[in-house]
């Protein structure tokens, strides 16, 4: 049986790609942010996942405002990226796991999530930057990535957006579907983007430390309490791009066991963004009984 071994939350700011390309990880501006990944690397070396299911939002590379699904899932054997105009290197392709993707798609539709299924799907910086942060040596070399991916896209761009409750349930549906997949695969779930930020308008540069702290506290053991915030509350409290927290809620939903926060790093600012990096453990009932 496949198992969700844990979850990772991370920002996906494009300028991180420039910092990596220029080797700036130890510069004073970047160091407190990149240090937050030391624990991620330590944890991955121990947990050794085979698959990463990545909840993210596309910013106009694969989907545009003319056709924008609320939820879309990749079912490709390979995911390519392309130049989005940020002036950063284009990531190498990442292999997919179509059998698992179709299993998840079947389970989601059976669970009344009518997702858009994509046998071709370009992945943008919201997947490639987290991949480069989480598996830096594979991103910088020709060595193949240690995981295959299933990208799951959530609309955080064009209103109406799905609610926090809906994204939590989407994640829960994915979590259940993984545990009914017959192959022994170790799966890490990743949520990208956030935390508070706003890139445009009169509130450009908006950051809300207090609300970010509340979200990071509540999401661990009582994510349901966050579902009382409407999308409009979330825009007000977190910024118009802070709504990328929806990807984090889906990631958290996929952790259906007992969840512990193993590590948290929070750093302001990375570009215009409050950058959070977290690692969550997902202890299944079987593991609890054995412990």
User: Catalytic residues, which ones?
Assistant: 125, 197
End-to-end CA distance of the chain: 19
Query: Residue 70 or residue 273: which is nearer to ligand DHB going by CB?
Result: 273
Task: Give dist(CA 262, CA 266) in Å, integer.
Answer: 14
Q: Residue 36 touches which of Fe ion, ligand DHB, none (CB < 5 to 8 A by kind)? A: none
What's the closest the beta carbon of residue 58 comes to Fe ion, in angstroms? 9
- C-beta nearest to ligand DHB: residue: 271
Query: Residue 13 or residue 51: which is nearer to ligand DHB going by CB?
Result: 13
What's the closest the beta carbon of residue 126 comes to ligand DHB, in angstroms? 6
Query: Residue 128 or residue 241: which is nearer to ligand DHB going by CB?
Result: 241
Task: Give dist(CA 75, CA 216) in Å, integer.
Answer: 31
- C-beta nearest to Fe ion: residue: 193
The tokens describing 26, both together, are 């130890």
Phi/psi of residue 269, nearest 5 degrees: -100, 160
Query: Residue 223 or residue 242: which is nearer to ligand DHB going by CB?
Result: 242
Task: Give dist(CA 188, CA 49) in Å, integer.
Answer: 6
Instruction: Show the 3-state SS of 209-265.
Output: HHHHHHHHHHHHHCHHHHHHCCHHHHHHHHCCCHHHHHHHHHHHHCCCCEEEEEEEE
Q: Residue 273 touches which of Fe ion, ligand DHB, none (CB < 5 to 8 A by kind)? A: ligand DHB
**Which spans of this chain sit near ligand DHB (rule: CB under 6 A)?**
12-15, 59, 193, 197, 199, 241, 244, 271-273
Cβ atoms 262, 39 nearer than 8 A: yes
Binding mask 175-214 for Fe ion (x = CB under 5 A): ------------------x---------------------
């Amino acid at each position: 049986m496949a198992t969700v071994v844990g979850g990772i939350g991370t920002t996906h700011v494009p300028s991180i790609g420039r910092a990596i390309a220029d080797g700036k990880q130890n510069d004073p501006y970047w160091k407190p942010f990149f240090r937050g990944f030391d624990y991620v690397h330590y944890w991955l070396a121990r947990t050794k996942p085979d698959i990463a299911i990545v909840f993210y939002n596309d910013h106009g590379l694969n989907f545009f405002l003319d056709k924008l699904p609320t939820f879309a899932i990749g079912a490709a054997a390979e995911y390519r990226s392309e130049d989005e105009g940020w002036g950063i290197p284009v990531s190498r392709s990442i292999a997919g796991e179509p059998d698992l993707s179709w299993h998840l798609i079947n389970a989601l539709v059976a669970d009344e999530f009518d997702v858009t299924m994509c046998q071709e799907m370009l992945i943008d910086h919201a997947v490639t930057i987290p991949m480069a942060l989480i598996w830096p040596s594979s991103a910088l070399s020709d060595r193949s990535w240690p995981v295959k991916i299933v990208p799951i896209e959530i609309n955080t761009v064009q209103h109406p957006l799905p609610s926090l409750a809906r994204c939590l349930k989407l994640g829960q549906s994915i979590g259940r579907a993984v545990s009914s997949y017959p192959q022994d695969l170790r799966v890490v779930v990743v949520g990208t983007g956030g935390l508070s930020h706003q890139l445009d308008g009169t509130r450009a540069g908006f950051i809300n430390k207090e609300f970010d702290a509340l979200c990071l506290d509540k999401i661990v053991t009582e994510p349901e309490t966050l579902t009382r915030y409407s999308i409009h509350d979330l825009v007000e409290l977190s910024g118009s791009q802070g709504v990328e927290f929806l990807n984090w809620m889906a990631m958290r939903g996929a952790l259906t066991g007992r969840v512990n926060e193993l590590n948290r790093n929070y750093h302001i600012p990375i570009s215009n963004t409050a950058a959070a990096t977290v690692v969550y453990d997902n202890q299944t009932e079987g593991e609890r009984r054995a412990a």
